[in-house]
Amino acid sequence: MPSTAVIAPDQLRLSVAPMMDWTDTHCRVFHRLLAPHARLYTEMVHANAVIHGDRGRLLALDPVEHPVALQLGGSEPELLARAARLGAEAGFDEINLNCGCPSDRVQAGRFGACLMREPTLVAASVAAMVEACDVPVTVKCRLGVDDDHDYGRFRAFIDEVAAGGCRMFVVHARNAWLQGLSPKENREVPPLRYDWAYRLKRERPDLQVLVNGGIATAEEATAHLQHVEGAMLGRAAYHTPYLLHRLDVAWFGGELRSRAELLRALQPYVEAQLASGVFLKHITRHLLGLFAGERGGRAFRQVLSEGAHRPGADWSLVERALAVTESFAAPTAPSLPQASG
């Protein structure tokens, strides 16, 4: 069985989760600026959409985003293989298969989290994707579905998929409940069990394991590195993006830059996008949390979100938001624990 290429460990320590409607190319460019060493993920794109849809838009990718993974949804090996090849040709560094999304739409299409019940199909899909492209093929999964709390079944899923050629697993460390919970509740209600991901890493040391789910602080993220290759942050990265910068500096070194400095570094990108017809609001919606928790953070958010919808909104709005925010005295960021691995 062909095996997918191994990803360099220092590229796995810090990553930003795939998030539909959030981690588009503008968001990823912003996150890259904050965290030069983070691994970034697209929103999930269905294999059919990659093959038949508006590929230019769906696979839009800025050169600064690397390393960046395309996340695919689907369950037909042949289609996934074609989509994986197209993704690799478009420049993505990794193709990730979604085995964790619990939405009704996804269940109706028989992909996402319900694939946790079909390890043979997932293994066949991974094998077809590995065959079709020359970048690593990885899987993002849950611990199980519904009330299945059998660690042995979880590990058997991983083993079978690994035999299909997958070397790296992102473990969203809770079950998906396919009945009665919304996708949002499915990110909050089923209890987290990080110990399953740690145990998996202990028992299968040749596999690379990332932990995801509920990581909200730098301390929590750092603690996971004692046990697995990396910490993947979703909502915390999006809502409090400066955390990404603090983690990147703490784990990889470099100077801590101020929020304002980081924001201004985005100006050339924003100007270029505006010149090519993109509306400011499509970029600034990802920036709203930059000053979250800081004095002036609410004003920053308010000025940007109210002004970005107005016709002709341009970079001067961002400067205005910054000026309002800077009129509040900003406290300094606390220091962070160092990563040990």
Task: Write out the residues near ligand FMN by the rule CB under 6 A.
Answer: 17-22, 43-44, 71, 98, 100-101, 140, 172, 187, 212-215, 233-236
User: Which CB atom, from 143 or from 318, has the smaller least distance to ligand FMN?
Assistant: 143
CA trace torsion 120, 124, 126, 128 (10° rounding): 180
Q: Which residue is nearest to ligand FMN (CB)?
A: 234
User: Which CB atom, from 18 or from 165, has the smaller least distance to ligand FMN?
Assistant: 18
User: Which CB atom, from 212 or from 325, has the smaller least distance to ligand FMN?
Assistant: 212
Question: Both tokens of residue 238?
Answer: 């999006």
User: Min. distance of Cβ 212 from ligand FMN in angstroms?
Assistant: 5
User: Min. distance of Cβ 20 from ligand FMN in angstroms?
Assistant: 4
User: Min. distance of Cβ 229 from ligand FMN in angstroms?
Assistant: 16
User: Which CB atom, from 4 or from 212, has the smaller least distance to ligand FMN?
Assistant: 212
Q: Which of 7, 5, 4, 1 is nearest to 209 (CA)?
A: 7
166 is catalytic: no
User: Which CB atom, from 290 or from 321, has the smaller least distance to ligand FMN?
Assistant: 290
Q: Which of 8, 24, 341 is nearest to 198 (CA)?
A: 341
Reduce the DSSP state of residue 150 to 3 states and report it.
coil
Q: Which residues contact 310 (CB under 8 A, 6 or more apart)?
A: none
What does the alpha-carbon distance between residue 96 and residue 174 come to, in Å, rounded to a whole number? 19
Q: Which of 34, 68, 14, 24 is nearest to 289 (CA)?
A: 34
User: Min. distance of Cβ 271 from ligand FMN in angstroms?
Assistant: 28
Token pair 């070194």 is found at 253
Q: Is 213 annotated as a binding residue?
A: yes
| Cross-strand pairs, 40 | 16, 68
Structural contact between residues 211 and 232, judged by C-beta atoms closer than 8 angstroms: yes
Reduce the DSSP state of residue 87 to 3 states and report it.
helix
Round the CA-based radius of gyration of the chain to a whole number and report it: 20
Q: Is 144 annotated as a binding residue?
A: no
Q: Is 286 annotated as a binding residue?
A: no
Active-site entry in 101, 133, 141, 166: 101
Token pair 């691995």 is found at 341
Q: Is 234 annotated as a binding residue?
A: yes
User: Min. distance of Cβ 108 from ligand FMN in angstroms?
Assistant: 16
Q: Is 175 annotated as a binding residue?
A: no
User: Which CB atom, from 43 or from 65, has the smaller least distance to ligand FMN?
Assistant: 43
Q: Is 71 annotated as a binding residue?
A: yes
Reduce the DSSP state of residue 42 to 3 states and report it.
strand
User: Min. distance of Cβ 235 from ligand FMN in angstroms?
Assistant: 4
Q: Is 172 annotated as a binding residue?
A: yes
Reduce the DSSP state of residue 172 to 3 states and report it.
strand
The DSSP annotation for 53-86 comes to: S-HHHHT---GGG-SEEEEEE---HHHHHHHHHH
Structural contact between residues 298 and 245, judged by C-beta atoms closer than 8 angstroms: no
Q: Is 37 annotated as a binding residue?
A: no
Binding site for FMN: what residues are annotated? 18-20, 71, 140, 172, 212-214, 234-235
Known catalytic residues are 101
Binding site: what residues are annotated? 18-20, 71, 140, 172, 212-214, 234-235
